């Protein structure tokens, strides 16, 4: 095994609160182990176009509390091409970079898998996505902050929904995953949560909303994940057909969910994963995502980490029904 002396870090894909804390942890752990550490701006695009710079402990001062990513991020089209991969490899050689730490989601890890295999570069991934749709970690960096953002926003919507006796359909992020919808839905006492992993049973939802078990119930909130096949607007239209007397409004929360100061949990998670990624690389690990499962650091091959399907816990989906009477 080649001795690792120089490592580089990048963020790629959608940004997530806590990515800065992860960058900080990678840089400082690298320096702690006497490595030279480079930052790559704008994800894999920066690797292709040589937007690479040396980082010191000072470079990551005062970023742990900041949302977004100081390294910036893109979803690189060029890195998907043979030519792009070749240019990226030339820059790896130019800076004599021995290993990479990449922070992102499934797209980031798919790129890492291909690049690492093709050129024999050790790469470890840190899960950074508000969607939390990766296997091999209980939580991804950014998820906790995002669900708290949704919870705080929907608490405000509940106030106005109560005042006007309205039904709100709130669409939250999650392209292929209902995990933001599910946990935030439980936290705000949603009447129903619609997620892409489970086929929507409109009859059941309509029966639930018709029940009126509590006479004084005046507001209703239905949370819809962005990846639901209908989406918030169509869901609202369908509900209006069954409940013409309901005053229905739609609220699409959008990119507010991706910003903001990372929560304490996200900062600690990102710090742990950053340390574990650098130490994993030094131990000779590669082609894996570092995660935390039941409190323990685990390494999961990229191939497996990008399949999140086992993450929906039926106990949580059942709870939505039981608790929102």
Work out whether 14 is an interface residue with ligand F6P (CB under 6 A): yes
Length of the chain: 325
Work out whether 106 is an interface residue with ligand F6P (CB under 6 A): no
Would you say 84 and 92 are in contact if contact means Cβ atoms under 8 Å apart? no
Among this protein's residues, is 131 annotated catalytic?
A: yes
CB of 183 to ligand F6P, least distance (A): 14
Instruction: Point out which residues pair with 127 in neighbouring strands.
Output: 104
Closest CA to 13 of 62, 72, 73: 73
Of the pair 131, 197, the CB lying nearest ligand F6P is at 131
Of the pair 253, 273, the CB lying nearest ligand F6P is at 253
Distances (CA, A) of 62 to 20, 24, 94, 220: 10, 9, 30, 42
Task: Report residue 208 as tokens.
Answer: 């639930």
- Kindly state the helix (H) or strand (E) to which residue 267 belongs, with its residue range: helix 264-282
Work out whether 129 is an interface residue with ligand F6P (CB under 6 A): yes
With contacts defined by CB under 6 A, name the span among 79-87, 123-131, 267-275, 304-312 that binds ligand F6P: 123-131
Of the pair 175, 261, the CB lying nearest ligand F6P is at 175
CB of 19 to ligand F6P, least distance (A): 12
Residue ranges in 252-311 that form contacts with ligand F6P under rule CB under 6 A = 258
Closest CA to 41 of 74, 80, 18: 74
Work out whether 98 is an interface residue with ligand F6P (CB under 6 A): no
Closest CA to 158 of 101, 223, 114, 105: 223
Q: Which residues are catalytic?
A: 131
Q: Binding residues for ligand F6P, per CB under 6 A?
A: 14, 105, 129-131, 173-175, 226, 258
């Amino acid at each position: 095994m080649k001795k690792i002396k120089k490592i580089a870090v990048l963020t790629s894909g959608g940004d997530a609160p806590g990515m800065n804390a992860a960058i900080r942890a990678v840089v400082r752990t690298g320096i702690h182990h006497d490595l030279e550490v480079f930052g790559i701006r704008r994800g894999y695009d920066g690797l292709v176009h040589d937007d690479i710079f040396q980082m010191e402990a000072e470079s990551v001062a005062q970023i742990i509390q900041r949302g977004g990513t100081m390294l910036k991020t893109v979803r690189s089209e060029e890195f998907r091409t043979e030519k792009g991969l070749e240019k990226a490899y030339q820059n790896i050689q130019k800076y004599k970079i021995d290993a990479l730490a990449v922070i992102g989601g499934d797209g980031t890890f798919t790129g890492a898998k291909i690049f690492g295999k093709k050129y024999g570069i050790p790469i470890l991934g840190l899960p950074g996505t508000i969607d939390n749709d990766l296997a091999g970690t209980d939580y991804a960096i950014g998820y906790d902050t995002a669900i708290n953002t949704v919870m705080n926003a929907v608490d405000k919507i509940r106030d106005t929904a109560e005042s006007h006796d309205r039904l709100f359909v709130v669409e939250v992020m999650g392209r292929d995953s209902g995990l933001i919808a599910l946990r935030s839905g439980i936290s705000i006492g949603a009447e129903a949560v619609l997620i892409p992993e489970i086929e929507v049973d409109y009859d059941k939802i309509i029966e639930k909303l018709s029940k009126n078990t509590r006479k004084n119930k005046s507001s209703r909130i239905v949370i819809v994940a962005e990846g639901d096949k209908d989406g918030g607007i169509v869901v609202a239209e369908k509900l209006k057909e069954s409940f013409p007397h309901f005053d229905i409004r739609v609220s699409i929360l959008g990119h507010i969910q991706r910003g903001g100061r990372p929560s304490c949990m996200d900062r600690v998670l990102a710090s742990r994963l950053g340390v574990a990624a650098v130490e994993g690389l030094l131990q000779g690990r590669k082609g894996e995502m570092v995660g935390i499962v039941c409190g323990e650091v685990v390494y999961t091959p990229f191939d497996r980490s990008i399949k999140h399907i086992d993450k929906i816990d039926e106990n949580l989906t059942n709870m939505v029904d039981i608790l929102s009477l």
